Amino acid sequence: MGNLAPRWLCLVFIFAAVVVAHADKALELRYIMYLTGQHDVVPEQSLVANITHVALAFMRAEIFNNPGHNEWPLFTTIDDARPKFAKETVIQVAIGGWGDTKAFSTAAKTAESRNIFAENVKAMLDATGADGIDIDWEYPGGNGEDYKTPGHLNVDKAWETDAYPQLLAAIRAAIGPAKTISAAVPGLPRDMLAFTPSTIPSIMASVDFLNIMTYDLMNRRDNVTKHHTGLQLSIEGIDAYLDAGVPPDKANLGLAFYVKWFKTAADVDCSAHPVGCKTQLMEDPGTGADLGKAGAFSWHDEVPFDLATSFAKALENGVYDEVGGGQYYWDGEERLFWSWDTEEAIRKKVGVVGKGKGLGGVFAWGLGEDAPKFDHLRATNDAMKNLETTGEEVGESYRERSEL
Ligand SMILES: *[C@@H]1O[C@H](CO)[C@@H](O)[C@H](O)[C@H]1NC(C)=O
Ligand SMILES: *[C@@H]1O[C@H](CO)[C@@H](O)[C@H](O)[C@H]1NC(C)=O
């Protein structure tokens, strides 16, 4: 009994230290935007004042496989992009992207190929003045665009699970600790082939943080409707990484500044249960080809002509699912399921970073996708500001997770 008091006191001190440390941390939340070649639009400085990192997407991966390469084509230059953001903003070059997998396989294959790739990353950083890179290999170990192509099946890519951390390590060795390395990683557990308790430690040894793509969580490979950027599915994705050993403050939550639609089955009335309703076949089971029954467009895109009426109805009549956490609408005439984030949905989703997780921050795909109104960016700005003022709450929940 005698030593109960000191122990109790000790716990209080530890708790206080965690709260203080984490309140501090809350002020340093990462706030990342992808800036894409498709929508190279940056709003006025005041709206991007608190953006900590910008990842310019994309530079093709294949150019890093040529020894001594010295041309670095990108839709913009670092010098053009940098003055559009706050002075301290870290400017990264995002390499790869959906469908750009072959070159990463080539790069990862041997110690020699990994070094060629890594030396070229260093040469690119030196030549462009970028502060770091974001590796968008979608995905190491398989399940990418080519996952049904003979020779590129998941079984052919099993070796990549071990090679991926080695590629990251080679890049870190080449560019040193001062430059930023992040990786965009899949948000669906079914795609996390290379992200397991045995690989996570070596991945995390080389990267500064992971951008967990908690969007496209419904895609053409699904058979029932889901929220593509939904709260519940996002939490499941994040938890899979935390459970595999990713430190919470190295995990960033992904936001989507775009809308998705899916064709539901012709013979099924989804009106009673629009979420979880059967879709049409959206991907060719043999070739993996897109059958045109699902699609996406950003807030900056013109709404495709044949979808405009249905989307107007969705915006007018869409509802927020309090269970799954996502805005949706089912159009019974067109048999279309719509999934997107309203400003309110974004505020709720950003709350995940603080409430219960103590995550490192958020990122969005992408900044210009929200032009010209930037309403979703504004909502994210507000939500991030709100997180900063609730640092204590972040500390408390982090304590729960780390089970002192
Ligand atoms: C969708 O249906 C196909 C064909 O029945 C099946 O092979 C596939 O696993 C299903 N996908 C999901 C995500 O359930
Ligand atoms: C940036 O952060 C500061 C400090 O929290 C806040 O006062 C300001 O409104 C934020 N700016 C934007 C655009 O969110």
Q: CB–CB of 224/335 below 8 Å? A: no
Atom of ligand 1 nearest to the CA of 190: 13
Cβ of 388 closer than 6 Å to ligand 2, yes or no, is yes
Q: Is 127 helix (H, G, I), strand (E, B) or coil?
A: helix
Residue from 212, 311, 222 nearest 258 by CA: 311
Cβ of 52 closer than 6 Å to ligand 2, yes or no, is no
Ligand (nearest to CA of 383): 2
> How many angstroms separate the alpha carbon of residue 387 from the centre of ligand 2?
11
> How many angstroms separate the alpha carbon of residue 245 from the centre of ligand 2?
32
Residues 6+ apart with CB under 8 A from 127: 70, 72
Q: CB–CB of 153/134 below 8 Å? A: no
Q: Is 258 helix (H, G, I), strand (E, B) or coil?
A: strand
Cβ of 221 closer than 6 Å to ligand 1, yes or no, is yes
Q: How many CB atoms lie within 10 A of CB 56?
A: 27
> How many angstroms separate the alpha carbon of residue 397 from the centre of ligand 2?
24
Place of tokens 């965009």: 184
Q: Is 228 helix (H, G, I), strand (E, B) or coil?
A: coil
Q: Which DSSP helix (H) or strand (E) runs through 181?
A: strand 180-186
Atom of ligand 2 nearest to the CA of 384: 14
d(CA 24, CA 179): 23
Q: CB–CB of 52/361 below 8 Å? A: yes
Residue range 29-257+341-402, CATH number? 3.20.20.80
CA dihedral 213, 216, 217, 220 (to 10 degrees): -140
Ligand (nearest to CA of 86): 2
DSSP state at residue 264: B
Question: What pLDDT does 7 receive?
Answer: 53
Ligand (nearest to CA of 387): 2
Cβ of 148 closer than 6 Å to ligand 1, yes or no, is no
d(CA 345, CA 361): 17
Q: CB–CB of 380/350 below 8 Å? A: yes
Question: What pLDDT does 24 receive?
Answer: 44
Question: What pLDDT does 28 receive?
Answer: 82
Cβ of 143 closer than 6 Å to ligand 2, yes or no, is no
Strand partners, 53: 32, 90
Q: CB–CB of 222/330 below 8 Å? A: no
**Among 219, 222, 223, residue to substitute to test ligand 1 (most atoms within 8 Å of Cβ):** 223
Q: Side by side, which strands form the sheet with 326-331?
A: 294-298, 258-263, 336-340, 326-331, 319-321
d(CA 165, CA 167): 5
Residue from 80, 43, 30 nearest 370 by CA: 43
Place of tokens 């600790």: 177
- pLDDT tens series, the chain, 404 aa: 344 445 545 444 544 544 444 444 445 899 999 999 999 999 999 999 999 999 999 999 999 999 999 999 999 999 999 999 999 999 999 999 999 999 999 999 999 999 999 999 999 999 999 999 999 999 999 999 999 999 999 999 999 999 999 999 999 999 999 999 999 999 999 999 999 999 999 999 999 999 999 999 999 999 999 999 999 999 999 999 999 999 999 999 999 999 999 999 999 999 999 999 999 999 999 999 999 999 999 999 999 999 999 999 999 999 999 999 999 999 999 999 999 999 999 999 999 898 677 999 999 999 999 999 999 999 999 999 998 776 534 433 433 433 32
Residue from 166, 238, 243, 240 nearest 206 by CA: 166
Q: CB–CB of 63/120 below 8 Å? A: yes
Cβ of 396 closer than 6 Å to ligand 1, yes or no, is no
d(CA 143, CA 44): 38
Question: What pLDDT does 125 receive?
Answer: 98
d(CA 187, CA 218): 10
Ligand (nearest to CA of 51): 2
DSSP state at residue 283: B
Dihedral pair phi/psi, residue 288, rounded to 5°: 80, 10
> How many angstroms separate the alpha carbon of residue 50 from the centre of ligand 2?
6
Which residue's alpha carbon is at the smallest distance from atom 1 of ligand 1? 223
Question: What pLDDT does 390 receive?
Answer: 66
Atom of ligand 2 nearest to the CA of 46: 13
Q: Could you state, in order of their start, the residue ranges of all structural domains in the chain?
A: 29-257+341-402
Strand partners, 338: 261, 329
Cβ of 222 closer than 6 Å to ligand 1, yes or no, is yes
d(CA 300, CA 369): 5
